[in-house]
Amino acid sequence: MTQDKKTYHHGDLRQSLLQAATQIIRDGGVDALSMRKLADNVGVSRTAPYHHFKDKNELLCAIAEAGFADHIRAVSELPQQHPDLEPRLLFELYVLGYIRFADANPETYDLMFGKEIWKLGQPTESLKGISKCCFQHWLEWIETLQDAGILTDKHPTLRVAQASWATLHGLCRLLNDGIYVNREDLEEMGKTAAAMLLAQAGT
């Protein structure tokens, strides 16, 4: 637990806190993270973290923010890695990528898109910013797919983006929240969902 203390001033406590918190959350879920345990974990007193984060909510926001950064990076790389792939397959790839991210980082995903921050807490301005940016990416891509004729353009881009995102999000939630869905079925479900969303190409 308590690391050997050397100096009164820690040095880069903020960074250490974020790192330790991320680890704790990865191991035992968001609920396993308490400010006190966290402080003890980095070898500092209970209330020391409050000099770097206004409250627990702000800490969680910071972690979520890092999650968005990861997510955006992963997504941006996709089209570059597969430059000549048919849009339909690229879409499926994206869907699978999204789901895999949620599966690999369930707790981070929970923070990014869960009520803990967005409903019960208060998202930081910078968190709002990066998440908005993330959705913007999605929106633009949906528009591209509409233009390419593989997603319906009978409905506004915003609605199509919301509805398709909801599908991905729903899959991830069902999985991560432990409701019915088995992990082994994940890929297949993702493919089915992708197919159902795309299927109206001809319409």
Partner DNA sequence: CGATCAATCTTGACACCGTCAAGTTATTAC
Partner DNA sequence: GTAATAACTTGACGGTGTCAAGATTGATCG
Which residues contribute to the site for its own copies (CB under 8 A)? Answer: 29, 31, 110, 113-115, 118-120, 135, 152, 154-155, 159-160, 162-171, 173-174, 176-181, 185, 188-189, 192-193, 195-197, 199-200, 202-203
List C-alpha distances in Å: 75 to 50, 111, 158.
34, 18, 19
The first and second tokens of residue 84, run together, are 């000549």
CA dist., res. 62 & res. 156, Å (int): 33
Q: Give the distance between the most distant pair of CA atoms in the chain.
A: 69
Q: Which is nearer to DNA, 37 or 173 (CB)?
A: 37
Cβ–Cβ < 8 Å for 29, 107: yes
Nearest approach, Cβ of 196 to its own copies (angstroms)?
6
Nearest approach, Cβ of 183 to its own copies (angstroms)?
13
Count of CB atoms situated within 10 Å of the CB of 108: 22
Q: Which is nearer to DNA, 119 or 183 (CB)?
A: 119
Nearest approach, Cβ of 51 to DNA (angstroms)?
5
Nearest to 65 by CA among 132, 137, 130, 134: 130
CA dist., res. 162 & res. 29, Å (int): 28
Q: Which is nearer to its own copies, 44 or 172 (CB)?
A: 172
Cβ–Cβ < 8 Å for 111, 24: no
Q: Which is nearer to DNA, 11 or 83 (CB)?
A: 11
Q: Which is nearer to its own copies, 13 or 189 (CB)?
A: 189
Q: Write each residue from 9 to 38 as x if it is in contact with DNA (CB under 7 A), else as -, in one continuous string.
A: xxx-x-------------------xxxxx-
Q: Which parts of this chain interact with DNA (CB under 7 A)?
A: 5, 7-11, 13, 33-37, 39, 44-48, 50-52, 55-57
